[in-house]
Amino acid sequence: MNDATLTTASSTHSYLDQLEAESIHIMRETVAECDKVVMLYSIGKDSSVLLHLAMKAFYPGKPPFPLLHVDTTWKFREMIEFRDRRARELGLDLMVHINQDGVTRGIGPITHGSELHTDVMKTQGLRQALDLHGFDAAIGGARRDEDKSRAKERIFSFRNAHHRWDPKRQRPEPWRLFNAHKRKGESIRVFPLSNWTELDVWLYIHRENIPVVPLYFAKPRPVVKRGETLVMVDDDRLPLAPGEVPEMRNVRFRTLGCYPLTGAIDSDAASTEDIIRETLDSRYSERRDRVIDQDGSASMERKKQEGYF
Amino acid sequence: MNVLVDPAALERDAVIYGHESKSLLRFIACGSVDHGKSSLLGRLLFDAGLVLDDQIETLRKDTGQFTGAVEDLDFSLLFDGLAAEREQKITIDLAYRFFATETRKFIVADAPGHEQYTRNMATGASTADLALILINAQSGLTQQTRRHALIAATLGVRHLVVAVNKMDIAGYAQDVFETIEREFRTFAERLGNVELTFIPVSAKKGDNVVYRSKAMDWYRGPTLLQKLETVDVTPRAAHQAFRMAVQWVSRPTPDFRGYCGMIAGGQVRPGMEIVVQPSGQRTRIDQIITANGALDRASVGQSVTLTLTDNVDVSRGDLIAEASAPAQVSGRLDARIFWMGAGTLAPGGRYHIKLGTASAAAVIAGPMQLIDLAEDAAVKPVDRLMSNEFGTCRLELDRPLAADSYEANRETGSFILIDAETHDTVAMGLIEKPATAAVTAPIRTSILGHVTVRAARLLGANESHSRSIAKAMSWRATGSIDTFVISWVITGNTAIAGSIAITEIITKIALYYFHERAWALIPWGKR
């Protein structure tokens, strides 16, 4: 195999091919080294890419783990429709967990604020679901470019029995050698998209023709302007101020979450190509549109230490 | 009928295609404290137009600089990620940054400069193609600079880019730059086969980072960004023999058996003759399966699923290698070790080893040497390695594994050690050579393969043979005195008691030895 013309072919893998191969490698390592694996499916674009990679990683078989969605009951309606349709189409085992304690207490983003709502319905809901089923590894779609504290998080990231993250006690990850040995009570969060950026995700969605929730594409939607944030009126639970009337604006979303906590942007981008162009030209990072990240400068790091994904 | 194509749409597609087909460069940025590494990276991003408006807003908030030119902001603050780091104004942990230009995506491992964080630097360098080493023009080469260069070169980083920073403070003087370059080149002779590039820069003023410096027209080399965008990124292992560690055996249906893994060296084609290591079974590649269809060739860096023409026994941890150029199979490894554990590394220490996808138990054996990074890699015999030290030692494994030298292949020549109690990753290992051992010759049939592996395990189990024999003798001495006393009490005859005890000594020493070695093979109940 010393044919030079053959060996040069190897350098032609594009960076997307390399990111894809690395993510597939990470998923296979997780399944091989852990006992009970689950994939967290949040319905957003990163989850769509993660699911696509999982389908590829275990082809011709199906991914050997279920999907878990922690439903806060405040997701956009289109997200829930999309979630159920994708699970059906791909024939995957989808588990939905809602923190019933939070529902009983009537916790919501409008009545209790974004911080308490996220903590109870998302962070605690996730912990309940993982404990309930005894999962020792949860694959998630977080990326290092999302937040400063994420930039230092490992691909195999450990949580203690109380699901806390200790940034000072992280294991080095040289080469592609991941250490999945757990101490008693520990579980692992695995992030196969660690080295992807928002632009990479969109380029890959475009290249692979991956279905995403239609909310990412611009179309006229009813919104109200609250401060600098455009909030979509997705159902009648959003209280309107006296005299406040939803207006139809051509908007789309860069990230998806609970609808009262997710800001829309004015946009005409109606296709993945348009979105890529918009992302290339953008002067703002995507997290700016998320209300929860603006709670405090070190808010993501603190949430993560408390067990937020 | 003619189909009219919107020229803007065509151009748009070309842009998208251009972004999709970019190449990838992983590099590590290292520099001593105060040499301005974060500032240089920040400047690089800012001048390349990659710092977003809301990040600048946050930066203004963090610095209290609500007015003034954007160029004067402290870009190093873009990078301090953890709350403790911001409080102490230092970088504690390795961070990964991403940016992309028109032609390349960059993954930057940002390693802190403190000595005690050698582990972070070594981790970052392990996957890097290029190391960016910062030197402060005023202070010149420091001990840490040498240390960083040595670590990078040791871990197989082929391109070293030395950025001499703060040239603005040094009056943009050519002789300052050239003195540092000369000194570094002299030192770098010991680094082996690395490509050196020297660039005079000012992170503060932006000279030679993205834009060519007007103040240093005597410099004719590339700017930092030009260098990063043009350096050759062909993986070294592309030119090596085919290697793939089996990660996972895919059995979606009873009649399908595929071996999943990421190709660690060379390339593979259907029909190629391969050897499964360490068992030594030979067969051929049947198909290269991916979700995008079967391939007629796959190469280093691709994640694939292979099927084989014969029904051979392959499981996770096995290495599939080119039959004409197999890896070495050995239960003994001579390696260079970055010791990262809290305690010491000393002969007799027992660890889990992860080499590729294979796991085994490893015992540290002598002789041990320290490679002193503070003294330009001087080699000294030692009896242990302290935390953050680098040295050499031999490892005895409880089973033979397939491996290459790190020099030949970064993936199949590297391993980590895992502490059996804390489960922490405590060492990075670079294989110098797998020691020639009992089984290097490939065995053709699978039954014989298994027998050989079993035999090799018997011979190369966790404990040395002299230890097993010593244990047998000490046990026998204790046991035989007991037998003599019992026989004497029962028979009342010292002569009979004596002969029973002596006969027993001889037969049972042998029995004990085999009993002990047999137990060594059984993993059950071991911790």
Nearest CA in chain B to A286: B54
**C-beta atoms of B54 and A285 within 8 A:** yes
A157 and A278, same domain (yes or no): no
3-state secondary structure of B309: coil
pTM to 2 decimals? 0.83
Which chain A residues have a beta carbon less than 8 Å from that of B93? 152, 167-168, 170
In a domain, A7, yes or no: no
- The answer to whether residues A200 and A16 touch, using CB atoms and an 8 Å cutoff, is yes
Question: What percent of chain B clears pLDDT 90, i.e. is strictly above it?
Answer: 53
Q: Is the pLDDT of residue B406 over 80?
A: yes
Q: Is the pLDDT of residue B448 over 80?
A: no
- The pLDDT value recorded for residue A296 is 47
- Please count the residues of chain B: 527
**C-beta atoms of B252 and A18 within 8 A:** no
Q: Tell me the CATH number of domain B328-459, given options 3.20.10.10, 2.40.30.10, 3.40.50.300, 3.30.465.10.
A: 2.40.30.10
- The pLDDT value recorded for residue A6 is 36
Which chain A residues have a beta carbon less than 8 Å from that of B123? 172-174
In a domain, A308, yes or no: no
**C-beta atoms of A15 and B301 within 8 A:** no
A169 and A234, same domain (yes or no): no
Nearest CA in chain A to B87: A298
- In chain B, residues under CATH classification 2.40.30.10 are 237-322, 328-459
Last residue in a domain, options A158, A176, A199? A199
pLDDT band at A289 (very low <50, low <70, confident <90, very high): low
- The answer to whether residues B462 and B361 touch, using CB atoms and an 8 Å cutoff, is yes
Question: What is the distance in angstroms between the Cα of B506 and the nearest Cα belonging to chain A?
Answer: 45
**C-beta atoms of B24 and A298 within 8 A:** no
Question: What is the distance in angstroms between the Cα of B476 and the nearest Cα belonging to chain A?
Answer: 39
Question: What is the distance in angstroms between the Cα of B228 and the nearest Cα belonging to chain A?
Answer: 15
Alpha-carbon span A241 to A262, nearest angstrom = 18
Give residue A283's domain range.
211-294
- The pLDDT value recorded for residue B10 is 57
A179 and A64, same domain (yes or no): yes
Report yes or no: A270 at the B interface, CB cutoff 8 Å: no
Nearest CA in chain B to A3: B239
**A14, A151, A175 member nearest B21 (Cβ):** A14
Q: At what angle do helices A198-208 and A45-57 cross, to 10 degrees?
A: 60
The DSSP secondary-structure symbol of A79 reads H
Last residue in a domain, options A151, A173, A199? A199
- The pLDDT value recorded for residue B37 is 82
**What's the pLDDT tens digit per position in B142-167?**
888 888 899 999 999 999 999 999 99
**C-beta atoms of B414 and A175 within 8 A:** yes
The one-letter amino acid at A108:
G
**C-beta atoms of B252 and A183 within 8 A:** no
**C-beta atoms of B354 and A24 within 8 A:** no
- The total number of structural domains in chain A stands at 2
Closest among A112, A113, A181, A3 to B416, alpha carbons compared = A181
A290 and A180, same domain (yes or no): no
Which chain B residues have a beta carbon less than 8 Å from that of A90? none
**B93, B262, B302 member nearest A152 (Cβ):** B93
Mean pLDDT for A114-134 is 92
The one-letter amino acid at B193:
N
Which chain A residues have a beta carbon less than 8 Å from that of B79? 148, 151
Last residue in a domain, options A199, A222, A255? A199
**C-beta atoms of A301 and B82 within 8 A:** yes
Question: What is the distance in angstroms between the Cα of B231 and the nearest Cα belonging to chain A?
Answer: 13
Mean pLDDT for B316-335 is 96
**C-beta atoms of A14 and B262 within 8 A:** no
Q: Tell me the CATH number of domain B10-230, given options 3.10.20.30, 1.10.357.10, 3.40.50.300, 2.40.10.220.
A: 3.40.50.300
Mean pLDDT for B266-291 is 96
Tokens of B115: 């000595």
Question: What is the distance in angstroms between the Cα of B495 and the nearest Cα belonging to chain A?
Answer: 58
CA angle B302, B306, B309 (to 5 degrees): 150
Q: Looking at chain A from residue 58 to 77, which residues have their Cβ under 8 Å from any Cβ of chain B?
A: 58-62
Domain containing residue A73: CATH number? 3.40.50.620
pLDDT band at A49 (very low <50, low <70, confident <90, very high): very high
**Averaged pLDDT of chain B:** 84
A163 and A39, same domain (yes or no): yes
**What's the pLDDT tens digit per position in B203-231?**
989 999 999 999 999 999 999 999 999 99
Report yes or no: A80 at the B interface, CB cutoff 8 Å: no
Q: Hey, how many other C-beta atoms are within 10 angstroms of the C-beta on A243?
A: 5
Q: Which residues of B381-393 are buried (b: 16+ CB within 10 A; e: fewer)?
A: ebebbeebbbbbb
The one-letter amino acid at A20:
E
Supply the Cα-derived Rg of chain B in whole angstroms.
30
**A31, A183, A283 member nearest B423 (Cβ):** A183
Nearest CA in chain B to A24: B303
CATH architecture of B237-322: Beta Barrel (2.40)
Which chain A residues have a beta carbon less than 8 Å from that of B62? 297
**C-beta atoms of B302 and A13 within 8 A:** yes
Look at B511 and A305; give whichever has higher pLDDT: B511
Look at B471 and A225; give whichever has higher pLDDT: A225
Q: Looking at chain A from residue 185 to 214, which residues have their Cβ under 8 Å from any Cβ of chain B?
A: 194-195, 197, 199-200, 203, 206-207
Alpha-carbon span B82 to A219, nearest angstrom = 39
A56 and A108, same domain (yes or no): yes
Question: DSSP characters for B153-207?
Answer: HHTT--EEEEEEE-TTTTTT-HHHHHHHHHHHHHHHGGG-S-EEEEEE-BTTTTB
A233 and A182, same domain (yes or no): no
Question: What is the distance in angstroms between the Cα of B376 and the nearest Cα belonging to chain A?
Answer: 23
A164 and A258, same domain (yes or no): no
A41 and A72, same domain (yes or no): yes
Look at A151 and B137; give whichever has higher pLDDT: B137
pLDDT band at A307 (very low <50, low <70, confident <90, very high): low
Report yes or no: A36 at the B interface, CB cutoff 8 Å: no
A168 and A217, same domain (yes or no): no
Look at B60 and B71; give whichever has higher pLDDT: B60
Alpha-carbon span B243 to B237, nearest angstrom = 9
- The answer to whether residues B104 and A200 touch, using CB atoms and an 8 Å cutoff, is no
- The pLDDT value recorded for residue B8 is 59
Least confident of A221-235, B90-104, B247-261: B90-104
- The pLDDT value recorded for residue B223 is 96
Q: Is the pLDDT of residue A205 over 50?
A: yes
**A21, A62, A152 member nearest B303 (Cβ):** A21
The DSSP secondary-structure symbol of A73 reads S
**C-beta atoms of B93 and A199 within 8 A:** no
- The pLDDT value recorded for residue A54 is 97
Tokens of B185: 């080149």
**C-beta atoms of A148 and B250 within 8 A:** no
Interface A:B, Cβ pairs < 8 A? 205
- The pLDDT value recorded for residue B335 is 96
Least confident of A30-44, A195-209, A264-278, B440-454: B440-454
Tokens of B261: 């893994």
Question: What is the distance in angstroms between the Cα of B386 and the nearest Cα belonging to chain A?
Answer: 17
Q: Is the pLDDT of residue B437 over 60?
A: no
Sequence-separated (6 or more) residues with CB below 8 Å from residue B229: B101, B103, B104
In a domain, A301, yes or no: no
pLDDT band at A184 (very low <50, low <70, confident <90, very high): confident
Alpha-carbon span A252 to A220, nearest angstrom = 9
Q: Is the pLDDT of residue B467 over 90?
A: no
**C-beta atoms of A170 and B21 within 8 A:** no
**B82, B303, B322 member nearest A25 (Cβ):** B303
Mean pLDDT for B18-39 is 83
**C-beta atoms of A59 and B291 within 8 A:** yes
Report yes or no: A1 at the B interface, CB cutoff 8 Å: yes
A164 and A261, same domain (yes or no): no
**C-beta atoms of B97 and A149 within 8 A:** no
A246 and A132, same domain (yes or no): no
In a domain, A303, yes or no: no
Question: What is the distance in angstroms between the Cα of B259 and the nearest Cα belonging to chain A?
Answer: 10
Q: Is the pLDDT of residue B112 over 60?
A: yes
Report yes or no: A170 at the B interface, CB cutoff 8 Å: yes
**A56, A172, A302 member nearest B425 (Cβ):** A172
Which chain B residues have a beta carbon less than 8 Å from that of A282? 52
